[in-house]
Amino acid sequence: MSVEVDADEHGRLARETALFLSDPSTRSNPYPLFRRLRENDPVHRSDAGAWMLTRYNDCLAAFRDPRLSRQDQAELEFDILLKGCTEETAQRALRTSLGMVVNLEGSNHARVRRLVTHAFTPKAVAAWRIRIEAIVDRLLAAVENKSEFDFMQELAFPLPQAVMCELVGVPYEDHALWTQWAARQVAFNRADPSGGVGVASARTAIIEFRDYFLDLVRKRRNALGTDLASVLIRAEEEGDRLSEDELVGTLMMLAIAGFETTANLIGNGMNALFDNPRQFDILKADPNLAAQAVEEFLRYESPSRMVLPKRTTDAVVMSGVEIPAGQSVLIVLGAGNRDPAMFDNPDALDIERTNNAHLGFGAGPHFCLGAGFARLEATILFKAVVTRRPDLKRATDTVRWRETFVRGLEELPVVGRQIH
DSSP of 147-175? SEEEHIIIIITHHHHHHHHHHHT--GGGH
For residues 142-173, one letter each, b for 16 or more C-beta atoms within 10 angstroms of the residue's C-beta and e for the rest, the string is: ebeeeeebbbbebbbbbbbbbbbbbbbbbeee
User: Residue 52, SS3?
Assistant: strand
Rounded mean pLDDT, 10-35: 84
Note whether residue 168 is domain-resident. yes
Query: CB–CB of 299/356 below 8 Å?
Result: yes
Could you tell me how many residues make up the chain?
420
In this structure, is residue 1 part of a structural domain? no
Q: Is residue 358 part of a domain?
A: yes
Q: What 3-state DSSP class applies to 241?
A: strand
169/179 Cα distance (integer angstroms):
16
Give which of 211, 187, 148 is closest to 406, Cα–Cα.
187
Which residues span the domain enclosing 280?
7-415
Segment 235-257 mean pLDDT: 79
Please give the Cα distance from 208 to 178 (Å, whole number). Answer: 10
Q: What is the pLDDT of residue 238?
A: 61
* Lowest-confidence segment of 96-105, 189-198, 211-220, 380-389 by average pLDDT: 189-198
Say what the pLDDT of residue 345 is: 97
Q: Of the ranges 1-5, 164-168, 336-340, which is most confident?
A: 336-340
The pLDDT of residue 55 is 98
Single-letter amino acid, residue 148: E
Give which of 14, 96, 72 is closest to 316, Cα–Cα. 72
Q: CB under 8 Å to 269, separation ≥6 — which residues?
A: 293, 294, 297, 301, 378, 382
SS3 409: strand
Tell me if 295 is assigned to some domain. Answer: yes
pLDDT given at position 420: 45
Q: Is 70 exposed, middle or buried (0-12, 13-18, 19+ CB in 10 A)?
A: buried
d(CA 54, CA 58): 7
Cα–Cα distance for residue pair 339/352, rounded to 1 Å:
18
Q: How far is residue 108's CA from residue 192's CA, in Å, rounded to a whole number?
A: 27
pLDDT value of residue 237: 62
Q: What span, in angstroms and rounded, lies between the C-alpha atoms of 218 and 244? A: 9
Global pTM value: 0.90
Cα dihedral value 241, 244, 247, 249, nearest 10: -140
Task: Indicate the number of domains in the chain.
Answer: 1
**In terms of DSSP H, where are the helices of 360-399?**
371-388
d(CA 114, CA 243): 14
Residue 240 pairs in a beta bridge with 237
Residue 75: inside a domain, yes or no? yes
Is residue 329 predicted with pLDDT exceeding 90?
A: yes
Q: Residue range 369-373: average pLDDT?
A: 92
Picking from 69-73, 268-272, 317-321, 339-343, which range would have the lowest pLDDT averaged per residue?
A: 69-73
pLDDT mean over 208-237: 84
Query: Does residue 301 sit within a domain?
Result: yes
- CB within 8 A of 347, min separation 6: which ones? 31, 35, 338
Q: Please, are residues 164 and 181 in contact by the beta-carbon 8 Å criterion?
A: no
C-alpha span between 152 and 401 (Å, rounded) = 12
Q: pLDDT tens for residues 391-410?
A: 999 999 989 988 677 889 99
> Computed from CA positions of residues 105, 188, 362, 33, in that sequence, does the dihedral angle turn out positive or negative?
negative
* CB burial readout 272-305, b (16+ within 10 A) else e: bbbebeebbebbeeebebbebbbbbbbbbbbbbb
253 falls within a domain: yes
Identify the residue with better confidence: 271 or 104.
Answer: 271
CATH number of the domain to which 57 belongs: 1.10.630.10
- Residue 245 scores a pLDDT above 50: yes
Question: Quick one: CA torsion of 237, 240, 243, 247, rounded to 10 degrees?
Answer: -10
In a domain, 2, yes or no: no
- Of 86 and 2, the one with more pLDDT: 86
The DSSP element (H or E) to which 394 belongs, if any, is: strand 393-394
Question: What letter would DSSP give residue 406?
Answer: B
Q: What is the pLDDT of residue 419?
A: 52
Q: Provide the pLDDT confidence category of residue 169 given band limits of 50, 70 and 90.
A: confident
